[in-house]
Structure 1
């Protein structure tokens, strides 16, 4: 066994530190002596006493434990760089930030990976973590499986990683020469990382030197993404832990058929092994449609973007998309084009997270991948109004469950109504007749992947479910959606101005306190919100979640009934101090509208691009 030390990097998060240390001590070490370092960054004039107390009382029986109290505040980047130098005293180090959690077999995997890769000059580090979403565009990421249990990405790991002494020395030497440079080789998404990021330097280093990180196909660490320096707080990087103690099957980078670049795209050399007909072309890979055209320097590109005169074409039926090329699936959606023959909309140049049409192929070709729950609170029975709402639901392309909730005194009338209709729905009755109680019961009975409520008489537009499902897939970090202009007669389906329907966090808080649940009709809620805020416990917290901003979709998703419009017509939504700037915002007066947007901290809008049948984010 080699001398592989564990370094825990922490700062003012005693609970996180304690959770990580519990996972470390529960791991398997096979009688080897393991050095443990707990490095605590200083906050101002002192070390956080609670964090220090957790580190001090932690018992480590597998070797020496050293607590490093930093003499001055370092910040995360300098803290990692300083702790990395401990590698000079060991064969290798495992670095764990305090919001990480490790699997029981993490150390056994680390030892095996170290022994296998420590002499490979193309390996820049070894990850414990395995991505389920890529960092370049937050798309789902599923590496191709080959003869081994690992894959390789030209991206450094930051949620549990191992560096050998030689790997760290090489990176640190490069860093000292480049720490004041502009890092011009970074991908567009990484160039936006802040100045406190050590990872952007490590990424630039990998790209310049042609090195890769080793990643396990099943993760030996996961990340809680707790608030802190460089935290994404998206919930996308809490990968499922590998709880198996089965030894991992390792394989070399040179023989791997699962090697990815800094955009998480399978590299051409691997595609050439899978598909020999690509050998004759010098091409870039852009299956996510996310690489800026300006960065594509090859004569050809393999992409899902639209273009003309494709030389080769493949289907988008299989997922991940790379399989369609690897297995030569005939069809359209992925094409090999001359670089000058691919098209790019203005929106995809301007905004990150632009989602090309074919990435949503699974959703569009199989609309049953997202299910919807609809609650209809019925306080006064009106058959015509119910007919209108149910008919609009029945036309949706996605599967749905409808729950009609009513007071006891009209239950029999609703059952008689249901016998005469072809629409399928559940009926639940309660003693009380208030909107709040009806919705509480309805959401308790109807918990699909995405949920919404409507008053009888309000109708959904024909593609409402499809559009919300598409937005949910394209932007998995969002959980709460509403369409704009929901009571207009515009039949075109798209609008350009969204100012009147954008809510700030202050407004959300105000509506929740006042219990103004009528405002949330035709708002769509992802099921992850209901697990956090169960409607039985607190309906206002469920309908006005505090941990997410409302994401608008610039489309008409619903036309409200007259009753609904009357219920919300007199609501004052703007704080007095914001009203002047809000006027400029609604009137779309250039420059002046920015004041309200920034003052109210408005969330972005999801704009629909009909040319590409896709969504992109716009701050408006």
Structure 2
């Protein structure tokens, strides 16, 4: 409009005697204005896109340059920030939960990237919690933005608000009943064996149909959880390559899909009706939880409802039983909610991870041995119940 006014006014002043010079000048003005408007439009659209991508993240003065993060995350093969979980099923959904340990998270992601996925469809999701006042770790975001995952998609989720360890565990995988996908949840201070997925596929195919199987733990060492015993660890004869145990192991846990959905439905009803869930009797976790209540740290322990639900319905977790307590995950026990940050050495990781593959379908029993919280092998089959 402005350019048309300028050209009309000039023709009036020249008595409508348009010259070549005036035509060139008018054209130049029009071109200049078009370029200006186009630049403004691009800037508006760019800001709108950035707002859509990062609008859920609270920015403070210590945060990184968001434009640079957008540029980094858009590069081929790198993790990208998304606003909603992908609903399309995959063969394996890897869920990594973190808060503000960028180096630990990167170490875990590096170990995941070296795993054998056998050409299956893989989705790697990293969920970042916010602080209680709504901030997110800029260092963690920047570190993840430079990570490349070559075996599938890599998505970064930032929770809209602080959800704590409970929200991270219970609400990051909400599969529909009909999905065939398998999911595994890792806390950020773990590393994994290259064979962790090979193992999960094997045990899920073998035992996933059982309503008594609540899920699959990847840890190779676990304590005995009965309050009636004082010494440490489970010692199950290695003639049992796997065993069923009443207490889940959180150092890498893959919920069995249908029992997990039923548990989530049950828990939603419990919360809706504001019910309190009883404690599991004679269980060490009950003693720990009561001590956390006394010190106002109860929200650091998410498992209590799950332990009660699986105990009530006689559901068990499948544990691996490799020689020397080797496992498919290694826990570094870094500074966090339940550890003091002493750390562990590289040689310990090498000694404790499964680095050679020996299992196959024929080497697994049709029904694993049942072990109670005292570490005693149950000789008789556990009664199956409907949940």
Smaller-chain TM-score bracket: 0.5 to 0.7
How far did 1:182 drift? 3.7
Matches within 5 A, 1:121-140: 121-136=211-226, 137-140=230-233
- Whether the aligned pair in 1 keeps the contact of 2:225 and 2:373 (CA below 8 Å) is no
How far did 1:55 drift? 1.6
Which residue does the alignment assign to 1:141? 234
SS of the equivalent of 1:35 reads strand
Which residue does the alignment assign to 2:118? 30
How far did 1:198 drift? 1.8
Counterpart check, 1:70 vs 2:174: no
Matches within 5 A, 1:39-78: 39-43=127-131, 44-78=133-167
Which residue does the alignment assign to 2:330? 222
Q: Which runs of 5+ in 2 are unaligned?
A: 1-88, 293-297, 382-387
Which residue does the alignment assign to 2:373? 262
Residue-by-residue CA offset, 1:528-574 (whole Å, 9 max, x unaligned): xxxxxxxxxxxxxxxxxxxxxxxxxxxxxxxxxxxxxxxxxxxxxxx
How far did 1:169 drift? 0.1
How far did 1:65 drift? 1.2
Counterpart check, 1:181 vs 2:276: yes
TM-score using structure 1 length: 0.40
The alignment covers a number of residue pairs equal to 267
SS of the equivalent of 1:155 reads coil
- Whether the aligned pair in 2 keeps the contact of 1:186 and 1:200 (CA below 8 Å) is no
- Whether the aligned pair in 2 keeps the contact of 1:187 and 1:263 (CA below 8 Å) is no
Distance 2:276 2:343 in 1: 32
Distance 1:169 1:199 in 2: 16
Counterpart check, 1:244 vs 2:356: yes
- Whether the aligned pair in 2 keeps the contact of 1:151 and 1:216 (CA below 8 Å) is yes
Counterpart check, 1:206 vs 2:206: no
How far did 1:87 drift? 6.9
Distance 2:279 2:187 in 1: 28
Which of 96, 110, 114 is equivalent to 2:186? 96
Over 3 Å counting, the alpha-carbon distance change for 1:138 and 1:16 in structure 2 is farther
Distance 2:101 2:123 in 1: 22
Matches within 5 A, 1:398-547: none
Residue-by-residue CA offset, 1:261-305 (whole Å, 9 max, x unaligned): 2343333638xxxxxxxxxxxxxxxxxxxxxxxxxxxxxxxxxxx
Over 3 Å counting, the alpha-carbon distance change for 1:2 and 1:120 in structure 2 is farther
- Whether the aligned pair in 2 keeps the contact of 1:207 and 1:262 (CA below 8 Å) is no
Distance 2:96 2:156 in 1: 10
SS of the equivalent of 2:117 reads coil
Q: Which runs of 5+ in 1 are unaligned?
A: 271-620
SS of the equivalent of 1:262 reads coil
How far did 1:124 drift? 0.5
RMSD of aligned C-alpha atoms?
A: 2.8
- Whether the aligned pair in 1 keeps the contact of 2:245 and 2:319 (CA below 8 Å) is yes
Distance 1:92 1:69 in 2: 22
Larger RCO, structures 1/2 (Cα 8 Å, 6+ apart): 2
SS of the equivalent of 1:16 reads helix
Residue-by-residue CA offset, 1:447-475 (whole Å, 9 max, x unaligned): xxxxxxxxxxxxxxxxxxxxxxxxxxxxx
TM-score using structure 2 length: 0.63
Over 3 Å counting, the alpha-carbon distance change for 1:265 and 1:203 in structure 2 is farther
Distance 1:230 1:204 in 2: 21
Residue-by-residue CA offset, 1:351-387 (whole Å, 9 max, x unaligned): xxxxxxxxxxxxxxxxxxxxxxxxxxxxxxxxxxxxx
How far did 1:105 drift? 0.5
How far did 1:14 drift? 0.6
Which residue does the alignment assign to 1:157? 249
Over 3 Å counting, the alpha-carbon distance change for 1:113 and 1:188 in structure 2 is closer
- Whether the aligned pair in 1 keeps the contact of 2:215 and 2:254 (CA below 8 Å) is yes
Which residue does the alignment assign to 2:36? none
- Whether the aligned pair in 1 keeps the contact of 2:222 and 2:249 (CA below 8 Å) is no
Distance 1:203 1:233 in 2: 26
- Whether the aligned pair in 2 keeps the contact of 1:103 and 1:220 (CA below 8 Å) is yes
Which residue does the alignment assign to 1:9? 97
Distance 1:173 1:64 in 2: 29
Distance 2:176 2:105 in 1: 22
SS of the equivalent of 2:264 reads helix
Distance 1:164 1:266 in 2: 22
Which residue does the alignment assign to 1:110? 200
How far did 1:235 drift? 8.0
Distance 2:190 2:176 in 1: 20
Over 3 Å counting, the alpha-carbon distance change for 1:120 and 1:57 in structure 2 is same
Residue-by-residue CA offset, 1:400-429 (whole Å, 9 max, x unaligned): xxxxxxxxxxxxxxxxxxxxxxxxxxxxxx
How far did 1:84 drift? 2.7
Over 3 Å counting, the alpha-carbon distance change for 1:222 and 1:178 in structure 2 is farther
Distance 1:97 1:90 in 2: 23
How far did 1:86 drift? 5.0
